Amino acid sequence: MNIARSVTGNVWIGMVFRLILAAVLIYAGVAKVFEPDGARNAILAYRIFDANIASVLGWALPIGEIIIGLLLLVGLFVRWAGLATALLMIGFVVGIASVWMRGYNIDCGCFGGGGDITGEGKNWRYLSEILRDLLFTGMGVWLIAWPMTALGLERTPVEPARRVVSEDDDATIEALDVPETNTNQGEQQYV
């Protein structure tokens, strides 16, 4: 038995990744949405955006996190939600690395709060936040590559149809080989 083959694209592993990302994004979004100006202040602490942009992002970011999280939770538009998650996490990694390199001491504001803090444990804090977000990025990339997951609502084939050409006597016959979806586990099988 080839372990790599049994793990790659496994619908149950995809479901676990999908649910972990959904929980993280929904929790992070809800924590920020109910904290007035919390997300805005956390964004300002990065010293990248001005106050007007930070105000817009302060509302858009938590709402976007909740929407992406809900899509992942129910298993709809998994590939697009995985892409949005991966891009969001890469943005967070860049932001955290930016303040680390510039010598600022801030709480990332990932789950509410945020802003300037003491420098105690700064290196470990920033490193662990970057590693955590890279792990979440990897989960998002997995969902981009293999969006069909167990127990999700998305049940349409995501692979393009393949053209099958057979030559019968002098005529060439073309047909589309469309994958069928096993609705029990979301696995694709070619017949």
What confidence tens digit (pLDDT) does each residue in 129-153 have?
A: 999 999 999 999 999 999 999 999 9
Q: Does any domain span residue 171?
A: yes
pLDDT on residue 180: 54
How many other C-beta atoms can be found within 10 angstroms of the C-beta atom of residue 141?
A: 16
Residues 120 and 186 in one domain: no
Half-sphere exposure of 126 (CA within 13 A, CB side): 22
Helices (H), 34-186: 38-45, 51-74, 78-101, 122-145
Q: Looking at residue 119, what is its pLDDT?
A: 81
Query: Do 66 and 115 belong together in one domain?
Result: yes
Q: Is residue 180 part of a domain?
A: yes
Same domain? 115 vs 174:
no
Boundaries of domain holding 108: 3-145
What pLDDT does residue 183 have?
Answer: 47
Asked whether the beta carbons of 28 and 42 are under 8 A apart, the reply is no
Domain count, the chain: 2
The pLDDT, as a whole number, for residue 189 is 46
- What is the pTM assigned to this prediction? 0.80
In the chain, which stretches have pLDDT less than 70? 1, 156-191
In the listed set 109, 127, 145, which residue is the last one of a domain according to the structure?
145
- Domain shared by 139 and 169, yes or no: no
Q: Is 150 a domain residue? A: no
User: Residue 124: what pLDDT?
Assistant: 94
**Whether 85 and 164 share a structural domain:** no
Residues 127 and 172 both lie in one domain? no
